[in-house]
Structure 1
Amino acid sequence: MQPESFKKGDLFEKFVENELFKASDYVLVSRTNSYDQNKNRYAEDTLRPDFKFRCKKTGQEFYVEAKYRSRFNAENKLEVISYTQIERFKGIQKEESIPIFIAIGYGGSPENPDSVSLIPLEKLSYLELYPSFLKRFNVEKGAIDHHALNLPITQRAAAYKRSPQSQGQQPVPSEIKAKLPFFKNKKIMVAIGMGFVLVAFLLFKTFNTSIEDTLKQKTAEYYTTIHSGNIDGLEDFISPRVDKWYSRSDVTFSEIKEDTKRYIKRHPLTSTNIQWDTFKVTPLNDSYSVSYNMVYKLLRENKGKDIIYHLKIHVVWDKDLMITSMYEERI
């Protein structure tokens, strides 16, 4: 018998497919197996998001993962996604250069939820969501307009947009195509192509190295500022308003400043040892997602043994290199 949670999941997936991404506007490229299908033989593709769609107007492909939750937990949060799943999706999005959205239905019933949020993966920097955060991404319960998705124009989508099929034009006859000018010397064409690839690679490499080094430096300076007790100096690192600050959401810098003062008063002696070989930067649309492992110690001096924590830190830095989200997990 299919578990109740999977039944609700299947019902909400049908809602997403039939109500939000209708066949008239979007091509269904792929869909992961259902619980009953996987029970007979598990498909590896099930590890991918539930749907892959292609917009008929732009040719842009994107993934959608469907999540339904009937109620908020005791802390007024919606438990949406696991750390393992969000990291796997980030890898898929980076590898395939295809946007991923998390469609969250909550309240009501899975086939007709009270509210629906459609959140780009890069905006989902934490695992449990408050109502205020969900409302920022609420959508109407009906067909999603492709403009609302704000999809990046990829090379493939741009070519599709210019194609005769997308513009309702007749394709150019082959005899006319043959008369169009082209390079006759194939060696020159190959050399030019290799040159463009080399330049693009060098630019990409230089940019990535530069931003990673910059973020490493900012991270080191951030912890130096904390250890020095210069709380006012944190203004150079933390955004005036932060989406997530450890267990809290939608926090102001002033609140963070006061929390930090209280924490330092309770724990005046601490040390951080960042494992720089784990430092990972993932560029987002207008920010950078950073993660790294760290050994964090509460130093006790003569009062007993130090308390040691092995942590994985997750930070989002905006385009101005200010922290907009930060949380940790123990490893």
Structure 2
Amino acid sequence: MELGIGMFGDLAIDAKTGKTQDAKSKLHEILEQIKLADEVGLDVFGLGEHHRPDYAVSAPDIVLAAAASVTKYIKLMSTVTVLSSAEPVNVYQNYSTIDLLSNGRAEIGVGRGSFIESFPLFGYNLKDYDQLFEEKLDLLLHINNKEVVNWKGKLRAPLVDQTVYPRAVNNGKLPIWIAVGGTPESVQRAARLGLPLIVAIIGGMPKQFKPLIDFYKQEYKRHGHDESKMQIGIHSHSFVSDQEQSIEGYFTNYAAQMDRVGQSRGWPPYAKSQYDGGRTKEGALFIGDPSEVTDKILYMHELFGITRFIAHMDVGAPSHKDMMKSIELFGTRVAPVVRKALKG
């Protein structure tokens, strides 16, 4: 099983003044954190796309390209590229460029996004939400699979004998993951196409997702894909510390971010009981000391048979010092124990 770190680039907001951290300092912190993740031997780093004032990263590909120059081994992927409001030609070109810069370490995670700001920003109609994703995924897969592209859709001009360069390292092909939040239609699409699946499990109880992941496995096999190539990942909010005081203190950061997002979605204020419940074995938060986080990851492997776990660590913008320590512990005290247990 591959183990990695995920981030959205949350900007710290001063509780007293309301002042938001500048994006410049955050981006430099992220590069230091990716470099450390590589140095402690983690397998993958994922970075998400947002177009909001509380996130620093609107262009994951640019940050990942910068990361390619300061890392040696770690895979660099988007978690996610909001494909519905992106241009597939550019998406392929940007990530194939990262792939060349990193000697074959680039991957794309595509999804429809949990926010809608990118649609009006780039001139797309929300009424076309589903069709945009379906068409653009089809085009991206065409580009990924063939150097000369012939493609026709309804919402974009066709491509006739067009070539898209540069080509990625592995015969022009990039790994493309489908990221989902829990809709059966999205899971079925990934299975039908034989694409790797990554499920965002950020609330409730992970075992509630078992029927969905079992459905993916069933459909993947039903469509004739090679079972040995099946890849399933989960992406969950995480934070590792060997100090209980830090874990308790992280609640403030976490709750503040949940409340900021919840204001636009009608959520009630995030309660400490939710935090504590999420940290239990059956909860969706991978927040705790190294042994607690290790045990929960192994439980996820037992429950789902996952091949990748991405620990989303920067929710609510913990301090750079706390982030570096969390990444260090994840790489040096969680990952080795997980790998040893699965080998045994």
- Identify whether the pair has TM-score above 0.5, normalized to the shorter chain: no
Q: Which has the higher contact order (CA 8 A, sep 6+)?
A: 2
TM-score by length of 2: 0.21
- TM-score, with structure 1 as normaliser: 0.22
Higher strand share: 1
